[in-house]
């Protein structure tokens, strides 16, 4: 998969910009604050309808404008004896009072559901903000899992949405029971606790199974990638820690049973706290190098390399799972690496059908398929070496 062309209209600091992009390694260079990151962010928004950097769509619209539009031509690898498939994606949004109205089109055909949009464009991105995967709160790591697994497995996207609804209902039941001892009135409104538990376990166990499968499949890729980037032979892993009180490491044979046991074990605590203590909404994962938790004891450099290793390994996992390369986006990923690790990271980037990097300094990029200079929201080609 490659992005053949990209169009931005009223996006961030771009009034209007059209780009033709080749396969291979593409570089955007320029001073800070000129719009390099915005180009990568635009590709992410096209892939997921969400920015990885801000929460509100309104912040993506150029100052003093009321609407913005992104478009891209995506080339997919050809089936045997057939031409490559070129797909046109369009995503636009406009401010209507206090609301932001969105429109999504594939090949000119409107799309109503985000679930059907996810996967049209497969992107794996690294932004400096992603270091929160090591240093931030568990919610950041769960958000990462939900986004990446939802892009690959559409059923996961549905399961996590249904799990959240079931969790809200169960928590509402618990709180209502605490506030009103008349159990019959509560059950008439929400259903019985047994029914709510079964719904929670049904969807939650599928989420747990998907996350467990993901970590099992990506584990060898993580080890290999970290060794290639770091030059270290020490064990590196991302340890999955399910949020079930009845779980012990190595005990993943029956997620439904483990989840139900956890709910039963936590029954009194749930009612005392008016919330559900066990479930995938309590999941965690930890970066460990030589058995040491990097969140507590790792340096900033170790954390940066850990996240880069995760993102590169994730790109390899997507390739293995889907049989097609994702687009790899690396924003300012090279600046804090030594020369050896820069070269190693660029070699990893070149192993994908298309990768896009940003940098303030072009001297260490080496040979690229296309090089663009970015200045004040304008992009100009610099050279073509391949």
pLDDT at res. 25:
95
93 and 101 Cβ atoms separated by less than 8 Å:
yes
Look at residues 100, 102, 77 and name the one whose alpha carbon lies nearest to residue 92.
102
* CA count, 13 A, side-chain hemisphere, 186: 19
Contacts of 282 (CB under 8 A, 6+ apart): 138, 243, 244
116 and 49 Cβ atoms separated by less than 8 Å:
no
Q: In 10 A of CB 249, how many CB atoms? A: 9
pLDDT at res. 185:
67
Residues of the chain with pLDDT under 50: 385-386
- State pLDDT tens for residues 246-258: 988 766 679 999 9
pLDDT at res. 386:
47
User: How far separated are the first and last CA of the chain, in Å rounded?
Assistant: 19
pLDDT at res. 95:
87
Domains of the chain: 1-122+324-386 (3.40.50.300), 130-322 (1.20.1050.90)
pLDDT at res. 47:
93
Q: SS3 helix, strand, coil % of the chain, rounded to 5?
A: 45, 25, 30
329 and 309 Cβ atoms separated by less than 8 Å:
no
pLDDT at res. 183:
66
pLDDT at res. 6:
96
Structure tokens belonging to residue 150:
């939802």
SS3 assignment, position 101: strand
pLDDT at res. 233:
66
pLDDT at res. 251:
67
């Amino acid at each position: 998969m490659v992005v053949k062309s990209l169009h931005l209209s009223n996006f961030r600091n771009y009034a209007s910009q059209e780009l033709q992009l080749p396969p291979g390694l593409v570089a955007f260079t320029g001073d800070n604050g000129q719009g390099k990151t915005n180009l990568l962010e635009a590709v992410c928004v096209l892939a997921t309808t969400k920015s990885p950097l801000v929460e509100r769509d309104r912040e993506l619209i150029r100052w003093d404008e009321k609407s913005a539009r992104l478009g891209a031509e995506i080339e997919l690898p050809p089936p045997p004896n057939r031409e490559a498939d070129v797909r046109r994606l369009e995503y636009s949004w406009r401010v209507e009072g206090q609301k932001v109205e969105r429109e999504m089109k594939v090949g000119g055909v409107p799309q109503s559901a985000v679930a059907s949009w996810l996967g049209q464009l497969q992107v794996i991105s690294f932004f400096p903000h992603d270091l929160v995967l090591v240093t931030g709160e568990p919610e950041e790591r769960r958000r990462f899992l939900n986004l990446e697994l939802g892009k690959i497995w559409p059923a996961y996207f549905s399961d996590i949405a249904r799990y959240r609804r079931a969790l809200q209902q169960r928590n509402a039941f618990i709180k209502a029971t605490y506030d009103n001892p008349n159990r019959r009135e509560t059950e008439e409104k929400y259903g019985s606790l047994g029914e709510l538990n079964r719904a929670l376990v049904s969807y939650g166990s599928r989420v747990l199974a998907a996350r467990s499968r993901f970590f099992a499949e990506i584990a060898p890729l993580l080890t290999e990638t970290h060794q290639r980037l770091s030059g270290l032979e020490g064990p590196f892993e991302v340890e999955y820690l399910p949020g079930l009180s009845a779980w012990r490491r190595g005990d993943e044979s029956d997620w439904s049973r483990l989840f139900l046991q956890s709910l039963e074990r936590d029954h009194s605590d749930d009612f005392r706290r008016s919330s559900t203590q066990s479930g995938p909404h309590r999941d965690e994962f930890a970066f460990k190098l030589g058995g040491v938790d990097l969140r507590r004891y790792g340096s900033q450099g170790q954390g940066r390399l850990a996240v880069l290793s995760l993102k590169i390994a994730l790109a390899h996992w997507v390739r293995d799972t889907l049989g097609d390369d994702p687009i790899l986006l690396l924003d300012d990923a090279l600046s804090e690496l030594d020369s050896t690790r820069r070269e190693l990271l660029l070699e990893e980037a070149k192993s994908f059908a298309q990768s896009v990097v940003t940098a303030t300094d072009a001297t260490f990029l080496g040979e690229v398929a296309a090089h663009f200079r970015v200045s004040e929201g304008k992009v100009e080609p610099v050279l073509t070496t391949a």
